[in-house]
Structure 1
Amino acid sequence: MNMTTRYGAGPNQIDAMNTEALRETFMVEGLFTPGEIAFTYTHLDRMIVGGAVPLQSPLTFGDGSDVGTPFFFDAREMGIANLGQPGWIEVDGERHVLANRDVLYVGRGAQEITLGSDDAAEPARFYMNSVPAGVDIPHRLIPKSEAKVITMGDSAKSNVRSLAMYVHPKVAPSCLLLMGITDPAPQSIWNTMPPHLHERRMEAYCYFELAEEDRVMHFMGRPNNTRHLVVANGDVVLSPAWSIHMGAGTGPYAFVWGMTGENQAYEDVDPVSIASLR
């Protein structure tokens, strides 16, 4: 298991950042390496993002040395989304089978996680969000069919999208983690529109299902001082509470969103008008 760190930055620091510095601070690349597990610990509300692509041999983690506890889950919870082909996850020996876009919630107190693919030639691709947790909530498999889906947007503005809630009070409880998947509709390119701020929560975006030649232009920064990140398939954007977030793709794409912070109120946002952006 490989763990890297992102320390984050304040809004007054981005003016001094070139493209490379912005990407090193607010993006995570290379999470999905075949045959490996990779984690990045971010000091934005101490969320950990991770990726695992098991091949012939399963991949296992659970040691807590990187987070300062005997076991990884002594004071943490996690959502694991399968963005690839069929696979399975064992939590302390109990196996859960995950198809594409199924999510497994792992609660506080787990000791050993093992991840496997049904077919090494067409492996599972597991994306993970872990945040601190203060209560014990049972592990739970959330199939795609059980996610709560809402549709929003306007086709005239190219921003129709469906939002599937998985780890959410309306679907599967957690301590502080929220997690789901958003899909722009065909012919729509914009997500999270209009942009907004949620000062009480940070968010991470894992963009996936992009063609090799396509990119998402992810916009960040304060409303009056925006920047952009060019994002490829499998890249993760770390969005601090002070930053807007919205994106537009050059082709079809989807993204997993994960949030944590002071509350789980999805509607606790401060909208930002497009006309006010600079």
Structure 2
Amino acid sequence: MTMKLLYGAGPQDVKGYDTQRLRDAFLLSDLFADDQVNFTYTHVDRLILGGAVPVTTSLGFGSGAEIGTPYLLSAREMGIANLGGTGSIEVDGQRFTLENRDVLYVGRGARQINASSLSAERPARFYMNSVPAGADFPHRLITRREAKPLDLGDARRSNRRRLAMYIHPEVAPSCLLLMGITDLAEGSAWNTMPPHLHERRMEAYCYFDLSPEDRVIHVMGRPEETRHLIVADGEAVLSPAWSIHMGAGTGPYAFVWGMTGENQEYNDVAPVAVADLK
């Protein structure tokens, strides 16, 4: 298991960033590697993002040595989304089978987690978000069928999409973590429209199901001074509370969204008109 550190940045800092520095501060491009568990600890609301791809062996993790606690989840909760083939997650001896687009909620206090794939030819691809938690909730598998779907957008504006809530008060309760998956409708390219801010929560995006030649242009920054990141399959973007977020893909794609902050009100947002962006 590896654990990198990211310290985040403020809007005044970003004004002077070149492309590489912007990518270093907000883009995670090394989450998924065969037979590895890779985590990044960010100082943006102390979110931890992780990836695990068990191909030839089971992958175990759970130590809190990197963050100064007995176990990784001694004072944290976690969401694990399977973006690949069928796999399983074992939490302290309790086994859960995750099909593609299933999500497992792991409650505070879990000690040992093991990830494995059913087939090495089509391995599981586990994407993880972990945030500090002040309450105990039971582990729970949320299947794709159990997620709550919301159909949003307008095909005429190329932003028709289906948002599926997984870890959410209306589906599976948690302390502060929200997590879900959004799919773009055929022919649509734009996500998260209109762009918006939510001062009381940060968010992370993990883009997936892109073909190797395609990219998502992820727009971030203050509304009056935007920046952009070019994002490939399996890369994740940090979106601080001060930054807008929206994006468009050169081909089909989906993304996992994860949030944490002061509340779990998904609609606690401040929309920004596209015409006001600079």
Q: Which bin holds the TM-score, normalised by the shorter protein? A: over 0.9
- 1:25-104 to structure 2, matched below 5 A, reads 25-104=25-104
Q: Which residue of 1 aligns with 2:124?
A: 124
Equivalents in 1 of 2:23, 2:42: separation in Å?
A: 14
Cα deviation digits, residues 172-197 of structure 1 (max 9, x gap) = 00000000000110000000000000
SS of the residue aligned with 1:145?
Answer: coil
- The residue type equivalent to 2:19 in the other structure is T
C-alpha displacement at 1:121, in angstroms?
1.7
1:186 has 2:148 as partner: no
- The residue type equivalent to 2:53 in the other structure is V
Q: Which residue of 1 aligns with 2:258?
A: 258
1:112 has 2:112 as partner: yes
SS of the residue aligned with 1:199?
Answer: coil
Equivalents in 1 of 2:89, 2:152: separation in Å?
A: 33
Give the TM-score normalised by the residue count of structure 1. Answer: 1.00
Equivalents in 2 of 1:68, 1:266: separation in Å?
A: 31
C-alpha displacement at 1:24, in angstroms?
0.2
Q: Which residue of 1 aligns with 2:216?
A: 216
Q: Which residue of 2 aligns with 1:235?
A: 235
Q: Which residue of 1 aligns with 2:6?
A: 6
- The residue type equivalent to 1:240 in the other structure is P
Number of residues of Structure 1 aligned to a counterpart in Structure 2: 278
- The residue type equivalent to 2:191 in the other structure is N
SS of the residue aligned with 2:67?
Answer: coil
SS of the residue aligned with 1:267?
Answer: coil
Runs of 4+ in 1 over 4 A off after TM superposition: none
Equivalents in 1 of 2:9, 2:130: separation in Å?
A: 20
Gapped runs of 5+ residues in structure 2? none
Cα deviation digits, residues 41-100 of structure 1 (max 9, x gap) = 010000000000001210000100111100111100000000000000000011000000
Equivalents in 1 of 2:155, 2:110: separation in Å?
A: 44
Equivalents in 1 of 2:67, 2:78: separation in Å?
A: 14
Cα deviation digits, residues 3-23 of structure 1 (max 9, x gap) = 001100000011110000000
Equivalents in 2 of 1:194, 1:122: separation in Å?
A: 36
Q: Which residue of 2 aligns with 1:173?
A: 173
Question: RMSD value over aligned CA atoms?
Answer: 0.4
- The residue type equivalent to 1:97 in the other structure is T
Q: Which residue of 2 aligns with 1:141?
A: 141
Identity of aligned residues (%): 66
C-alpha displacement at 1:101, in angstroms?
0.3
SS of the residue aligned with 2:164?
Answer: strand
Give the TM-score normalised by the residue count of structure 2. Answer: 1.00
Equivalents in 2 of 1:164, 1:277: separation in Å?
A: 28
Equivalents in 2 of 1:28, 1:70: separation in Å?
A: 26
